Amino acid sequence: MTDDELIWRIAGGSGDGIDSTSQNFAKALMRTGLDVFTHRHYPSRIRGGHTFVEVRAAGHPVKSRGDGYNFLLALGDSFARNPQDEAYYGNEEAKPLTENLDDLREGGVIVYDTGLLDEGDVDDLEERAAEEGWHVYPLDLRGLAREHGSEVMRNTAGVGATAALLGMDTGVFEELMDERMSGDVLATNVEILEMAHEEVSGMEHTHALQLPEGTHEDAADSPVLLSGSNAVAYGALDAGCRFIAGYPMTPWTDVFTIMSQNLPEMGGISEQVEDEIAAASLAIGASHAGVKAMSGSSGGGFALMSEPLGMAEMTETPIVLVEAMRAGPSTGMPTKPEQADLEHVLYTSQGDSNRVVFAPGTVREAYEQTRAAFEMAYEYHLPAIVVIDQKLSGEVAVIPDEFFDREPDPGLGAVLTEAELDEAAHHASGVFDRYRHDPESGVSPRSIPGQAGGRFLASGNEHTPQGHIAEDPDNRVAQMDRRARKLASVRAELDGRETSHQTPYGPEDAEYGILTWGSQQGTAEEAVDRLNDDGHSVKALGVSDLMPYPSAEVAAFLESVEECLVVEMNATAQFRGLTGKELGQYGEHLSSLLKYNGDPFEPAEVVEGFESIVGDADADGDASGESTRIVPAVGD
């Protein structure tokens, strides 16, 4: 835990504008030169229900949510169903205050809106504040907003109060408002911001917390603030994707929406269709006709894509699918993160899997690996899946804009032109040999309908080189083996690249390891820093390539450490299982730290988990934490 950081939590009800206020607050902090990271927590409801966003900011890199937080802006839930204490779910109106106190650090700051909340809502606020050293500032934000404009502008008053308490002036916020508002709305909001700032500046301040100092290099020069979903969408656009088909489902909807808002202006096509079976099938149809296409969903919708996924594998039609995981099984917890769809994504659909699966660990990787997914899909004629989750989907990070200043890649991959088709092998009947047995890489280049000399049959049935249905055993084995060779080629190509999708972190010669996949990468890295500061010797490896599995890299990492903790957000240690299956050893060196309560790991939980099992030779029995679970290594 560091003292030179701000973790500002804005809490209210769904529909109270918490998300947009937090985005602007994060942007303002980015403009002051700080690194920023956000964490969203919200219920599956349109109106009401306790929701919060944390904005973590520091002059040094922040890669994860923090441990708890140090500044609460509690607005009160203005859409609460039951503003009574005796209600089944408790007094919802007061939850933005009451529900957040447990995570607030010692010495933290509380601002709450007395327009909706009063001291009596929390039984022992004064007592707890004294005990924890909290600094409490009750302010009538709603009243102030009403007086100068309208009640709904109380978020602006809250931001003004926050700025005053952190020793910031209002300039950066006014600049942001000026960019997105105009006329009376702008004038009124600026007035409310300034009034709140002035009023709070004139109060006596008892707390020490101020805006962190310093400048992070990523925020120094033309930074942009964007989410994992944005990064996936932008990676797709830069890969030349101009067709998307989808059906709404949280959290996948974010990617679908961003694509749909941008594609028409780029002469692309977005289709919202009847179900996810159709969505993935449309992507296949568009790709077959010569367009770079994608689809995607979250767990339940992705389950419907099992069929078309297999069809893409068998017909060797390139497509990119996004799977934005949320807590399952079934409808599960729609707005909560989990990493429990790993096995689903790897193996769903009948027959042997023949797909590429990437799970980016950060917002930057989400962009890079989405581009790579298109490259692999179109070069190797198979489906490539980008797995994200509710956490990565919604979190925002600061990235220098030059990161995006690069060439687009609209190449269609292994496709022949008509001139090339003229020279290519054909059956005596004139049908193009679309699925030849012999390519060493496994890739037999394709033609596109409408090209002269390219006609062939794509079929979900096993087929001859021309695509005709065939159950001949020799042909079957030749086609199965060729399709399998494509995955080996993908692995060889990825292994031969300068930059790996796997991200090592920490001292190379460390004694212990933390292995993680997908969105837990940043949290694991923060834990590694703290553990090493505390005298441990630890490094981490964040794995993104899940199929084909990066065996050499992971084996080298595991070979170099005594023991390793595998950190993932699911209940059955799916990634540890995959690693054991792929490597066939190291079982006795791998223990698991699991979390599946709907909240992502805090770095401290990883530190604690590590200390209780891996770093401690005497550890025995169940060392699970309050919301985490330890599964010891096999035979331990």
Partner 1 sequence: MSQSTNVFGAIGDAQEREEGIDREEFTPGIEPQATWCPGCGDFGVLKALKGAMPEVGRTPEEVLLVTGIGCSGKLSSYFDSYGFHSIHGRALPVARAAKLANPGLEVIAAGGDGDGYGIGGNHFTHTARENHDMTYIVFNNEIFGLTKGQTSPTSPKGHESKTQPHGSAKDPVRPLSMALSAGASYVARTAAVNPQQATEILAEAIEHDGFAHVDFLTQCPTWNKDAKQYVPYTDVQQSEEYDFDVHDRREAARMMHETEDALYEGTVLTGRYFVEEGRRSYGAEKAATGEAPETPLAERYFDPDYEWERSYDLLDRHR
Residues 273-292 that bind partner 1 (CB under 8 A): 273-275, 277-279, 281-286, 288-292
Provide, rounded to whole angstroms, the least separation between the CB of residue 619 and partner 1. Answer: 45
Give the pair of three-digit tokens for residue 210: 């101020």
Identify the residue among 68, 453, 504, 632 touching partner 1 (CB under 8 A).
Answer: 453
Identify the residue among 226, 255, 340, 443 touching partner 1 (CB under 8 A).
Answer: 226
CA distance 64 to 361: 11
- Can residue 243 be called a binding residue for partner 1 (CB under 8 A)? yes
Question: Is residue 307 within 8 Å of residue 349, measured between CB atoms?
Answer: yes
Identify the residue among 181, 211, 269, 414 touching partner 1 (CB under 8 A).
Answer: 269
Query: Which residue lies nearer to partner 1 by CB, 211 or 457?
Result: 457
Query: Which residue lies nearer to partner 1 by CB, 69 or 256?
Result: 256
- Can residue 300 be called a binding residue for partner 1 (CB under 8 A)? no
Provide, rounded to whole angstroms, the least separation between the CB of residue 425 and partner 1. Answer: 14
Identify the residue among 2, 84, 206, 461 touching partner 1 (CB under 8 A).
Answer: 461
Provide, rounded to whole angstroms, the least separation between the CB of residue 47 and partner 1. Answer: 26
Query: Which residue lies nearer to partner 1 by CB, 146 or 468?
Result: 468
- Can residue 418 be called a binding residue for partner 1 (CB under 8 A)? yes
Provide, rounded to whole angstroms, the least separation between the CB of residue 219 and partner 1. Answer: 11
Residues 357-416 that bind partner 1 (CB under 8 A): 401, 404-406, 408, 410-412
Question: Is residue 442 within 8 Å of residue 485, measured between CB atoms?
Answer: yes
**Contacting range for partner 1; rule: CB under 8 A; set: 33-41, 78-86, 258-266, 562-570:** 258-266
CA distance 488 to 8: 47
**How buried is residue 428: exposed, middle or buried, by Cβ count under 10 Å (0-12/13-18/19+)?**
exposed
Give the pair of three-digit tokens for residue 208: 């020490």
Question: Which SS3 state, helix, strand or coil, does residue 136 take?
Answer: strand
- Can residue 469 be called a binding residue for partner 1 (CB under 8 A)? yes
Residues 322-351 that bind partner 1 (CB under 8 A): none
**Contacting range for partner 1; rule: CB under 8 A; set: 3-11, 241-249, 322-330, 563-571:** 241-249
Query: Which residue lies nearer to partner 1 by CB, 224 or 554?
Result: 224
Q: How many beta carbons lie within 10 A of that of residue 427, not counting itself?
A: 13
Specify the residue for token string 């910031």. 168
Question: Which SS3 state, helix, strand or coil, does residue 53 take?
Answer: strand
Provide, rounded to whole angstroms, the least separation between the CB of residue 481 and partner 1. Answer: 22
Alpha-carbon distances of 223 from 181, 231, 393, rounded to whole Å: 22, 14, 19
Identify the residue among 68, 107, 460, 632 touching partner 1 (CB under 8 A).
Answer: 460
Identify the residue among 69, 234, 252, 302 touching partner 1 (CB under 8 A).
Answer: 234
- Can residue 454 be called a binding residue for partner 1 (CB under 8 A)? yes
Identify the residue among 222, 499, 533, 535 touching partner 1 (CB under 8 A).
Answer: 222
CA distance 291 to 268: 10
- Phi (first) and psi of residue 233, to 5 degrees: -65, -45
Helix axes 228-238, 363-380, angle to 10 degrees: 30
Specify the residue for token string 């001139």. 419
- Residues that bind partner 1 (rule: CB under 8 A) add up to a total of 82
Distance of CA 62 to the CA centre of its chain: 15
CA distance 34 to 417: 50
- Can residue 230 be called a binding residue for partner 1 (CB under 8 A)? yes
- Can residue 425 be called a binding residue for partner 1 (CB under 8 A)? no
DSSP class of residue 432?
Answer: B
Identify the residue among 178, 352, 427, 585 touching partner 1 (CB under 8 A).
Answer: 427
Query: Which residue lies nearer to partner 1 by CB, 390 or 466?
Result: 466
CA distance 110 to 99: 13
Identify the residue among 91, 315, 354, 523 touching partner 1 (CB under 8 A).
Answer: 315
Provide, rounded to whole angstroms, the least separation between the CB of residue 311 and partner 1. Answer: 5
- Can residue 537 be called a binding residue for partner 1 (CB under 8 A)? no
Residues 71-110 that bind partner 1 (CB under 8 A): none
Give the pair of three-digit tokens for residue 310: 């297999």
Query: Which residue lies nearer to partner 1 by CB, 247 or 380?
Result: 247
Smallest Cα–Cα separation from 443: which of 380, 356, 372?
380
- Can residue 500 be called a binding residue for partner 1 (CB under 8 A)? no
Question: Is residue 12 within 8 Å of residue 77, measured between CB atoms?
Answer: yes
- Can residue 171 be called a binding residue for partner 1 (CB under 8 A)? no
Provide, rounded to whole angstroms, the least separation between the CB of residue 436 and partner 1. Answer: 15
Provide, rounded to whole angstroms, the least separation between the CB of residue 503 and partner 1. Answer: 22
- Can residue 476 be called a binding residue for partner 1 (CB under 8 A)? no
Identify the residue among 430, 496, 621, 635 touching partner 1 (CB under 8 A).
Answer: 430
Residues facing 534 on adjacent strands = none
Residues 6-45 that bind partner 1 (CB under 8 A): 27
Q: 172: part of which helix (H) or strand (E)?
A: helix 171-180
Sequence-separated contacts (24+) of 573-577 with Cβ below 8 Å? 573/631, 574/339, 574/340, 574/342, 574/343, 575/339, 575/342, 575/515, 575/516, 575/517, 575/543, 576/631, 577/343
Identify the residue among 44, 188, 215, 451 touching partner 1 (CB under 8 A).
Answer: 451
Question: Is residue 365 within 8 Å of residue 553, measured between CB atoms?
Answer: no
- Phi (first) and psi of residue 232, to 5 degrees: -60, -45
Distance of CA 540 to the CA centre of its chain: 19
Provide, rounded to whole angstroms, the least separation between the CB of residue 62 and partner 1. Answer: 18
